[in-house]
Amino acid sequence: MNILLGLCYFSPVVAAITLSLTDQWQALNATVGGRLHAATPFALPCFSKYNNQSVEVDEGACSTIQANYTNPQYRLTSFSANMNPQYETCMATHSQCLLNSANSKDTLATNGISCDQGQISPFYIDVRTPEDVQAAYKFSASTKIPLSIKNTGHDYIGRTRRAGSLGIWTHNLDSMRYHTNFTPDSCNGSFRAITVGAGVTFEQVYKFADDNDAMFVGGYAQSIGASGGWLMGGGHSVLSPSLGLGVDRVVRVSYFASTAQHWLYHSFSFKSRLSLQMVSSARPTHANIQIFSGPCAEGGGGTFGVVLESTHLVEQRIPIQVVNITYAPAEAQLQRYFEILVNSSTSWSELGWGGHITSRGLIYVNPQLSLADATESMQQIAEFARANGGSATFETLPSWYDFFDRFILQVQAAVGNLRILGSRLIPKANFETKAGRVQLVAHLLNQTAMFGLPYIPVVTPISYTYIPGTTSLSPAWRTALWHLGTSTTWAYNSTIDEIRGKFSSVHDFVDKNLRTLAPDSGSYLNEGDVYETDYEVAYWGANYARLLEVKIKYDPMGLLDCWNCVGSKGPSEFPCYPVL
Ligand SMILES: Cc1cc2nc3c(=O)[nH]c(=O)nc-3n(C[C@H](O)[C@H](O)[C@H](O)COP(=O)(O)OP(=O)(O)OC[C@H]3O[C@@H](n4cnc5c(N)ncnc54)[C@H](O)[C@@H]3O)c2cc1C
Ligand SMILES: *[C@@H]1O[C@H](CO)[C@@H](O)[C@H](O)[C@H]1NC(C)=O
Ligand SMILES: *[C@@H]1O[C@H](CO)[C@@H](O)[C@H](O)[C@H]1NC(C)=O
Ligand SMILES: *[C@@H]1O[C@H](CO)[C@@H](O)[C@H](O)[C@H]1NC(C)=O
Ligand SMILES: *[C@@H]1O[C@H](CO)[C@@H](O)[C@H](O)[C@H]1NC(C)=O
Ligand SMILES: *[C@@H]1O[C@H](CO)[C@@H](O)[C@H](O)[C@H]1NC(C)=O
Ligand SMILES: *[C@@H]1O[C@H](CO)[C@@H](O)[C@H](O)[C@H]1NC(C)=O
Ligand SMILES: *[C@@H]1O[C@H](CO)[C@@H](O)[C@H](O)[C@H]1NC(C)=O
Ligand SMILES: CC(=O)N[C@H]1CO[C@H](CO)[C@@H](O)[C@@H]1O
């Protein structure tokens, strides 16, 4: 049974509209304690025209932006910045305000050029309380101005933006609480857990966990949020092969949503995840596996409501084995390199390894093995790399935080550039037959010729004990071994046609090449093809129908919508995406 606690209802009946829109904005600002702000483009201080009108260049502010244009920690502090700034722009009309990310001081990007609003919301609320969110909902219901939710701006699909919307910015919800004995609503037993406000980033929670002798299972970047799109999209970690996805570990979520009768602020406990921790041998009852019936179902962020905080199970702080293999294969060695990766991947995953294979080599972690066993299990690939001009080092780091500090900060994906991904989940079954392995190696060679060396997060929860039906993600996650992808980038001054060509090339590759490997598998909504075919099936499988009911129940006025989200009204609502 789902336990509802701290349930607060606010009536959604909206007073008759007698105020002008300007007055309504002012009234909204008063309701939210002056935390309504006008949003201008992130790089505006570097330009002398804004929406074609002359403005003063602000040299001081501009040089700070130039120095930090590719710094995720700085982008995080601006409502107007996305990590991949094409989503600040309106790609379809080329309304944009971009610097050259390869050389942020390049005056060709700014001289005589107009900085345009793109699809950045004209106004946003810097939310601190559920009442702030309620004010946004009321305003949206009465004015018909839609809402959008932005946390860190990492979303690769751009779901943080909707042209003309009122923005809800969660960045400053930064509380953290550690619980040695967290007892969720009406549950028996207690657990080590951490509660974070919706704006808290991995860097913050990793440090906070470490200071409390704990380990938080999270992603491969310092500035992603722990409660927002990462969590609601599934949330993978290099620790996920043995310790589960973000959604497997969240035990309580507090959110704001609406029903036909009420606005509600509500906390929801995921009891099944606790039963799983408490009595691993007991089978779950039917009642406690129905956990995705509320608006905190894993339908992606920005769909059902606004999360204000979330509570996650944490592990004891433990040492982590790390292997760092640096290897850029020459053409002649590519096939053998891919064969080793493909032939070994099943046993690596069974041993609890997770990591990323990139064009620079691979970095894997293991929270289970001894250093000796870790070294032995990776011997073939290590020797191969060393024998061919690469390197391989094995070491034990005292904690996950040390791994974050030493490795993740060095190798996390670059930001500030215009970049999209495309990926699919590749089932374990593809690795189990000789024909499957041969096909996969041929695919990897093909992919390398088309897009360069592949990007492979090895982060699926393959050794995690999962109770079927306890999350709404596609079941493909549970049987996949690789999350196989590619990415592409383009320059700030690319034309609309060039941009469209980039999206098309990734889409065609995912749809034709990757999909052929496993047509019935799924895809990760946070890192998928922006134009994923049948995205409802790819992201959620048969769970989609249930998610759609949740959407209709908790957002009956359709105030929230995003690209390829549950119940989306479709591309016509998002005219800034290129039409392929
Ligand atoms: C450099 C980089 C590295 C990445 N590494 C990983 C990784 O290791 N593992 C992984 O799983 N993913 C990874 N991702 C993908 C990441 O999970 C997604 O970008 C995710 O959407 C980020 O969530 P956010 O809340 O931080 O970002 P945002 O872009 O701010 O939000 C993402 C979505 O969630 C919604 N949302 C945000 N906050 C809330 C809220 N409080 N309530 C309701 N809706 C909300 C937004 O409307 C939007 O739809 C990476 C992305 C980047 C750019
Ligand atoms: C909202 O009010 C605050 C404080 O009075 C003010 O600083 C801010 O500019 C106002 N926002 C808008 C959009 O007018
Ligand atoms: C700026 O001027 C150009 C050229 O006249 C026009 O196409 C564009 O729509 C204008 N942009 C804005 C924001 O007014
Ligand atoms: C908690 O434990 C008590 C006593 O063992 C039991 O009666 C009760 O049903 C349990 N409650 C839940 C929610 O499991
Ligand atoms: C991984 O190994 C390479 C090659 O020895 C080295 O340059 C790099 O710094 C290492 N990474 C870390 C985080 O130690
Ligand atoms: C990988 O396995 C296949 C058989 O499935 C074998 O033919 C091939 O030689 C192996 N490659 C390596 C590098 O071990
Ligand atoms: C390689 O890519 C081409 C072009 O998409 C495709 O026609 C071909 O089937 C692919 N071959 C393999 C082995 O994936
Ligand atoms: C695009 O920008 C680069 C770097 O500023 C510049 O060298 C190049 O000439 C520009 N291309 C076009 C077509 O304007
Ligand atoms: C505010 C902020 O993050 N500023 C940083 C901008 O970049 C410089 C150099 O890279 C840093 O020193 C600042 O701290």
At 337-349, the pLDDT tens digits run 999 999 999 999 9
Q: What is the pLDDT of residue 290?
A: 36
- Residue 2: pLDDT band by 50, 70, 90 thresholds? very low
Tokens of 440: 């996969």
Cβ-Cβ contacts under 8 Å for 549 (sequence gap 6 or more): none
Q: What is the mean pLDDT of residues 55-71?
A: 98
Give yes or no for residue 431 CB within 6 A of ligand 5. Answer: no
> Which CA distances in Å does 426 have to 237, 318, 335, 443, 460?
17, 30, 19, 12, 10
pLDDT in tens, 236-291: 999 999 999 999 898 888 989 988 888 888 887 776 565 555 433 333 333 333 33
Cβ-Cβ contacts under 8 Å for 424 (sequence gap 6 or more): 483, 484, 485, 510, 514, 515, 517, 518, 521, 522, 523, 528, 538
Nearest alpha carbon, ligand 5 atom 5: 391
- Residue 300: pLDDT band by 50, 70, 90 thresholds? confident
Give yes or no for residue 83 CB within 6 A of ligand 1. Answer: yes
- The strand pair at 214-215 and 250-258 is best described as unpaired
Is the pLDDT reported for residue 8 higher than 80?
no
Could you tell me which of 329, 333, 374 has the C-alpha nearest to residue 354? 374
123 CA closest ligand 2 atom index: 13
Is the pLDDT reported for residue 299 higher than 80?
no
Q: What is the pLDDT of residue 331?
A: 92
Distance 103 CA to ligand 1 centre (A): 26
All domains of the chain in start order, with CATH: 7-169 (3.30.43.10), 176-316+543-565 (3.30.465.10), 320-496+512-528 (3.40.462.20)
pLDDT in tens, 542-570: 999 989 988 998 999 999 999 999 999 99
Give yes or no for residue 61 CB within 6 A of ligand 9. Answer: no
What is the rounded average pLDDT for all residues in the chain?
91
Q: What is the mean pLDDT of residues 131-146?
A: 96
Distance 122 CA to ligand 2 centre (A): 13
CB 19 within 8 A of CB 27: yes
Q: What is the mean pLDDT of residues 403-408?
A: 98
Could you tell me which of 409, 351, 361, 355 has the C-alpha nearest to residue 386? 361
Distance 9 CA to ligand 4 centre (A): 29
DSSP annotation of 203 reads H
Select the more confidently predicted residue: 287 or 205: 205
Q: What is the mean pLDDT of residues 373-396?
A: 97
Alpha-helical segments (H) within 68-201: 72-75, 130-143
Could you tell me which of 94, 535, 122 has the C-alpha nearest to residue 299? 535
Select the more confidently predicted residue: 421 or 1: 421
CB 476 within 8 A of CB 427: yes
pLDDT in tens, 87-105: 999 999 999 999 999 999 9
Per cent of the chain over pLDDT 70 is: 91
pTM of the model: 0.94
108 CA closest ligand 8 atom index: 5
Q: What is the pLDDT of residue 505?
A: 97
Nearest alpha carbon, ligand 7 atom 12: 443
